[in-house]
Amino acid sequence: MTIDVEQPVRRRRPADQVRQLALECARRLLLQHGPSAITLQAVAGQLGMTHGNVTHHFGSANGLQGALAEAMIRDLVDAVQAALAGLRAGETDVRDVIDLVFDAFDAGGAGQLIAWLASSGHRDRLVPLCLTVAELATTLEHPAVDQQAEARRVGRIISAVIVPALGAALLGRELAGALRLGDDAFRVLATDQISTIGEEQPPTL
Amino acid sequence: MTIDVEQPVRRRRPADQVRQLALECARRLLLQHGPSAITLQAVAGQLGMTHGNVTHHFGSANGLQGALAEAMIRDLVDAVQAALAGLRAGETDVRDVIDLVFDAFDAGGAGQLIAWLASSGHRDRLVPLCLTVAELATTLEHPAVDQQAEARRVGRIISAVIVPALGAALLGRELAGALRLGDDAFRVLATDQISTIGEEQPPTL
C-alpha cells in the first residue's frame, strides 16, 4: 500500500478514467504524428502521470497501440450499427456506410495504426479488434435455415468493406493518382461489391 | 579518383551489381525479420561493404525500403503480364492472376513493406511503385472510342486486386478467423469483382 502525498499534477485518478484519458491522448498523438509517436512516455508526459502508471494499464507501447486500435474499431462498429439502423429506415444508403468505414480507416487513422501493428511484428494485437468486427455480424444476420451459409454471406459483406478500406487508407491516394481514377474510386468499387453480395438471396426456406 | 587497394572482402563492384545485391539482401531481411530489419547497416554488414557505399546508392533506410518495394512491384507487374498472356491463351484463369498478386503481398512481403512505409511517414515512397502498377494498364487497355472510359475500366480492374490484396496481407488471416470464413475468402471476393468489371462491355463502336 502507498500513501498518497498531495501533488498538484500527479493526482490519483480512477483506473477506468486513466485508461480512457490515455486512449484519448494516444488518439491525438496518432492523428498529429503517426503511430510511432504513441509511446507510454509521451502519453504519461501529456497527462502528467508517471510512466509506471501508464505501463501498469497497457504493458508496453504496443499494448497501448493495440488498445487504441481496438477502441477505434469498437467506436466504428457502434457507428456502423447506427448507420445500418438508418439504412433500414431508408434514411441513409449503402454508400453512407461505406464512407463511414473508409473515413475511419483513412482520416481517422485506424488504417495507419493497423498497418503499423501488422508491419512491426505485432499481428497478435489485431485479433481482439477482428473479434469486435465479428460482433457486427450478429446485427446483420437474417434468420435462415442454412445458418452457416448466412454467416458466410454476412462475413463476406463485412470483409468486402474492411479489407479494401484498409488497403485504400494506405495506398489509395497514390494509386488513384497513378491510374487517373477519382479519389472515391475504391469507395465506389466497395459499394458495387456490397450491393452484389447483399442481393444474394439469403436462404429463408 | 581513388586508387583501389586490393581487399579480400571489400572489393569494388559495379554500381548496378551493388544495387542488385543490396536489394536481394534487403529482401531476405524483410522475409526473415520484417521491414524494420532493413537498415543500411545490416545490408552493408551482410555484403561486406561499407555503410557509406550502401548509403551512396539509397540515401537512407527508407530509401532502401522504398527501392525494394518498387523492385518487388516491378517483379509482380512482370509476373502479372506473363500470367495475362497465359489467360489470353486459355492456360490460366483469373483466380491464378489473383493468387499471384495476393501471394506477392502476403507471403512475398510486399504488403508488410508498403504498410511500413505508409505508417512511418514515408508515403512519398509509394508514388513510384504506383506508377509502375499503372504501366500495367497499357497491357490491359483495349482500343476504344471512349479512351477515358476504357482507362477507368482498366484502372478499376487493377485497383480491385491491389487494394484488397494489401488489406488482406495485413489483416486477412485474423479477420477470416474471426468471421469464420475460409482463408481464401478475400481472393474469392476479388475474383468475383474482377469478373464483374471485366464483363462490362468495353466501348468498341
On whether both A89 and A40 belong to a single domain, the answer is no
Would the CB atoms of A118 and B115 count as touching at under 8 Å?
A: yes
- Residues with Cβ within 8 Å of residue A153, at least 6 apart in sequence: A197, A200, A202
- What CATH number is associated with residue A51? 1.10.10
Residues of B in contact with A126 (CB under 8 A): 171, 174
Q: Which residue from A61, B121, B58, B170 is spatially nearest to B42, judged by alpha carbons? A: B58
Q: Which ranges in B34-124 belong to alpha helices (H)? A: 40-47, 51-58, 61-88, 94-105, 110-119
Nearest to A107 by CA among A99, A118, A97, A115: A99
Hey, how many other C-beta atoms are within 10 angstroms of the C-beta on B136?
21
**Grid coordinates given for B43:** 545490408
CA A173 vs CA A68, A150, A167, B68, B124: distances in Å: 25, 34, 10, 20, 11
Q: How many CB atoms lie within 10 A of CB A119?
A: 27
B65 close to B29: Cβ distance less than 8 angstroms? no
Residue A182 has which C-alpha cell? 477519382
Q: How many Å apart are CA B166 and CA A114, to the nearest integer?
A: 12
Count the domains in chain A.
Answer: 2
A123 lies in the same domain as A188: yes
Q: Do B134 and A176 touch (CB under 8 A)?
A: no
Chain A residues with CB-CB distance to B123 below 8 A: 173-174
CB pairs under 8 A between A and B: 175
Q: Residue A118 carries which DSSP code?
A: H
Same domain, A87 and A52: no
Please give the Cα distance from A76 to A82 (Å, whole number).
10
Report which of B167, B79, B148 is spatially closest to residue A111, judged by C-alpha positions.
B167
In a shared domain, residues A112 and A36:
no
In this structure, are A120 and A35 located in the same domain? Answer: no
d(CA A37, CA A32): 9
Helix axes B94-105, B110-119, angle to 10 degrees: 50
Partner residue facing A133 (CB), from B121, B165, B178: B178
- A72 and A146 assigned to the same domain: yes
Domain co-membership, B38 together with B85 = no
Q: Do A133 and B175 touch (CB under 8 A)?
A: yes
Mean pLDDT of A139-160: 85
Which tens digit of pLDDT belongs to each residue from A5-37?
A: 555 555 567 878 889 999 999 999 999 999 999
User: pLDDT at position A205, please?
Assistant: 43
Residue A36 domain-assigned? yes
Same domain for B31 and B97, yes or no, is no
Structural domain including A43 reads 13-59
The residue ranking higher by pLDDT, A185 or A9, is: A185
Q: Which residues in chain B have their CB less than 8 angstroms from residue A114's CB?
A: 170-171
Tell me the nearest-neighbour CA distance from B71 into chain A, angstroms.
Answer: 17
Residue B16 to residue B69: CA distance in whole angstroms: 17
Residue B163 CB partners (closer than 8 Å, separation 6+)? A164, A167, A168, A171, A172, A175, A186, A189
Asked whether the beta carbons of residue A186 and residue B163 sit closer than 8 angstroms, the reply is: yes
The one-digit pLDDT tens for each residue of chain B (205 residues) are 555 555 555 556 787 888 999 999 999 999 999 999 999 999 999 999 999 999 999 999 999 999 999 999 999 999 999 998 898 899 999 999 999 999 999 999 999 999 999 999 999 999 999 999 999 888 788 877 788 888 888 999 999 999 999 999 999 999 999 999 998 999 999 999 988 887 765 544 4
Substitution target from B68, B175, B186, B199 for chain A, most A beta carbons within 10 A: B175
Q: Please report the ipTM that was assigned to this predicted complex.
A: 0.88
Contact of A101 with A41, CB cutoff 8 Å: no
Whole-number Å distance between alpha carbons of B19 and A74: 45
Residues B157, B68 within the same domain: yes
Q: Phi then psi for B59, rounded to 5 degrees?
A: 80, -50
Determine, for residues A177 and B123 on separate chains, whether the beta-carbon distance falls below 8 Å.
no
